[in-house]
Amino acid sequence: MITKFFDNGIPSLFFNYDTGAPFSSCTFCEKKLTSETKYAVEKMINQNTVIQSREIVYEYAMCWDCALTLGSDISQESKAAIQQLYIAHGDILMRKLDYLHRTEKYNIDSWLERCSLTGKEIRNCGEFSVSGIIESGNLVYEQTPMVVSGEFMQKLHDVLSEETKKGFEGLRDKITDGSPSVEDLVYGPVPGLF
């Protein structure tokens, strides 16, 4: 059974890189994020696996209203394809969640050691995304935090319909500020959590 456990605060990994503090507003609608707001944070990270250095490619915070809107913007074809992809990798995710909850490993390192959907060790990934849900000013350990390898992000991108990909173009521009160098690294606008 998946339980819900609140961390004591928000780990710095989920802070805004520029400010070194929790995100203060939704990246998309600019709604103020307070300790009462439920929202998601996602970061896309490039990693040099030889020297184990990491660089944040982009990050964003998304209020729950925007997250629900994003879900409604995905075509039925894409929703069905995403569901099949998650079913195919669901055993890995469920085993990971069962182990972490059963052993009460409520620390960020335990949750982000391996890709949540492929089991691949993150230290061996050239890129990956990290996402978490913040609720009542705390990180929620439930089905997130989640880490998704570049390998799985590519699979996710490959199953999206052209309609969904076009619909996400505005989101991608908002996340990347239109930087071509960043866009080259991003398979899709929201590779991990959503």
Full-model pTM? 0.83
Residue 190 lies in a domain: no
* pLDDT of 117 higher than 90: yes
pLDDT of the residue at 174:
66
Residue 52 lies in a domain: yes
Residue 117 lies in a domain: yes
pLDDT of the residue at 148:
94
DSSP per position, 137-187? TEEEESS-SEEEEHHHHHHHHHHS-HHHHHHTHHHHHHHHTT-HHHHTT-S
pLDDT of the residue at 33:
96
Number of domains present in the structure of the chain: 1
pLDDT of the residue at 172:
65
Residue 189 lies in a domain: no
pLDDT of the residue at 42:
94
Residue 134 lies in a domain: yes
> From CA 157, how far away is CA 165, in angstroms rounded?
8
* pLDDT of 192 higher than 50: no
Q: Give the domain range for residue 24.
A: 5-183
Residue 192 lies in a domain: no
Say which residue, 52 or 53, is predicted with more confidence.
53
Q: Give the confidence band of 67 by pLDDT, cuts at 50, 70, 90.
A: confident
pLDDT of the residue at 180:
43
- In the chain, the percentage of residues whose pLDDT exceeds 70 is 85
pLDDT of the residue at 184:
42
Q: Give the confidence band of 182 by pLDDT, cuts at 50, 70, 90.
A: very low
Distances (CA, A) of 192 to 19, 21, 155, 186: 23, 22, 11, 11
Output the average pLDDT for the chain.
85
